[in-house]
Amino acid sequence: MTRYSAIPWPWLLLAAAVGLFAGEAVGRFFGDASSFGQTVYRIAVMTGAVTALTLLILPARRPAYLLGAAVCAGLMGWALWLQYGLQLDPCPLCVVQRMIVMAMGFIFLIAGLHNPGRIGAAVYAGLACVAGGIGVAVAARHVWIQAQPRGTVASCGMSLDYMLESLPFTDVIGKVFGGSGECAEAGWLFLDLGIPAWTLVFFVAMTVAALALVRRD
């Protein structure tokens, strides 16, 4: 087992589990388990738990990079199954998050093939931080859009492909982050968290793992 002497990660996992139960209790107390505050709380708990678990099982540097690339490929496979198996077409924000997942997967794959030393690992960690930071921002915006009351988000919007073909890039960014009815649909849920919430958890965990690999010789 990988040990991180500075931070008691197993205790963090235990605290996350206790926090999850406490969060459910808080949701029942206020009578709205699907409120935005409750969603943020669940995301925070799951982010801490998944990140801690990732660091506890983190292998040596090269297999960890290849494992990270495999995880990204698995997430893309799952997204395609949701699209073509469950007929859940991706909204523009979902497409952007998919591209960021692919970018992170490419970074981890190249790093695994390269098998860098500490300096190279720091470079790859920086790239992962950039991609992961953008991913967190996009996913967080998507979570916020889904939390808005019905009728406050435009009922429909242009597809991302059409916007890229017909609008200036700056206008595309504004319209994508503005959201539409497609982005407001919850779609697939797991543990009461939707797809953007889980991608946010993924981006944080993978970014922290990339940073930890700088010191995993």
Structural domains of the chain in order of their starting residue, each with its CATH number: 61-215 (1.20.1550.10)
**Predicted pLDDT of residue 100:** 93
- pLDDT of 201 reads 93
Per-residue pLDDT at 132: 93
Nearest to 213 by CA among 141, 138, 127: 127
Question: Kind and range of the H or E element at 194?
Answer: strand 193-194
Q: What is the mean pLDDT of each run of 10 residues along the chain (217 residues)?
A: 54 66 62 67 82 83 92 91 80 86 94 90 94 92 78 51 49 50 66 86 93 84
Q: Is the pTM of this model over 0.85?
A: no
* Whole-number Å distance between alpha carbons of 33 and 104: 33
Q: Which two tokens stand for residue 112?
A: 């695994």
Q: Which of 189, 171, 206, 184 is nearest to 94 (CA)?
A: 184
**Looking at residue 101, what is its pLDDT?**
93
Q: What is the chain's alpha carbon radius of gyration, rounded to the nearest angstrom?
A: 18
| Both tokens assigned to 31 | 């009578």
How far, in Å, CA of 98 to CA of 75, rounded?
9
Q: Tokens representing 19?
A: 């926090």
Q: What pLDDT does 133 receive?
A: 93
Please tell me the predicted confidence (pLDDT) of residue 168: 52
Are 49 and 17 spatial neighbours (Cβ–Cβ below 8 Å)?
yes
Closest CA to 210 of 46, 73, 67: 67
Q: Which residues contact 198 (CB under 8 A, 6 or more apart)?
A: 46, 190
Single out the residue of 135, 124, 130, 131 nearest to residue 61, CA to CA.
124
Could you give the CA distance from residue 72 to residue 108 in angstroms, rounded to a whole number?
Answer: 9
